[in-house]
Amino acid sequence: MKRREVLKVLGSSAVLVTILPELASAKKLALGLDKAEQLKKVGGSAILKIKGQEILFIRECEEVIRALDPECKHRKCTVEYDNEQNLIVCPCHGSTYDTKGEVLKGPATESLTAFEATLSGDRIIFSLE
């Protein structure tokens, strides 16, 4: 292989590593904000099915997005995000959680499962572990 070809290949690899370092772990997933319009704005939320699992995404502020399992730990109802109160509420029995999934009011006694999630440009980088 000629020197110029080697540099071309190495340059392409460096660009890929620079663009996608947050996906270095095979466990990380990326979701474009174009797939969930409601998450483009602060206060927006969406429950999306990803790899067979429902995930509640909440755009808490410009820089912060939360990813949670939307199943209430009390009776397994699907929770909803209340933007007005900035709370997650179970419509079945009234349990409330903060946006990190911590229980604020029962009957639930366990927090929602939270997943690592960050914003990177117009993408959400997250893990389902």
Is residue 57 within 8 Å of residue 39, measured between CB atoms?
Answer: yes
> What pTM value is reported for the model?
0.77
- Residue 74 domain-assigned? yes
Contacts of 31 (CB under 8 A, 6+ apart): 48, 50, 123, 124, 126
How many domains does the chain fold into?
Answer: 1
* CATH number of domain containing 51: 2.102.10.10
User: Longest Cα pair distance anywhere in the chain, in angstroms?
Assistant: 69
- Residue 18 domain-assigned? no
| pLDDT confidence of residue 22 | 46
**One-letter amino acid of 3:** R
Per residue in 6-60, pLDDT tens? Answer: 333 333 333 333 334 444 445 889 989 888 899 999 999 999 998 889 999 999 9
The closest of 108, 111, 122, 103 to 30, measured between CA atoms, is 122
DSSP class of 101:
-
Question: Where in the sequence is the domain holding 113, given as residue range(s)?
Answer: 26-127
| pLDDT confidence of residue 74 | 86
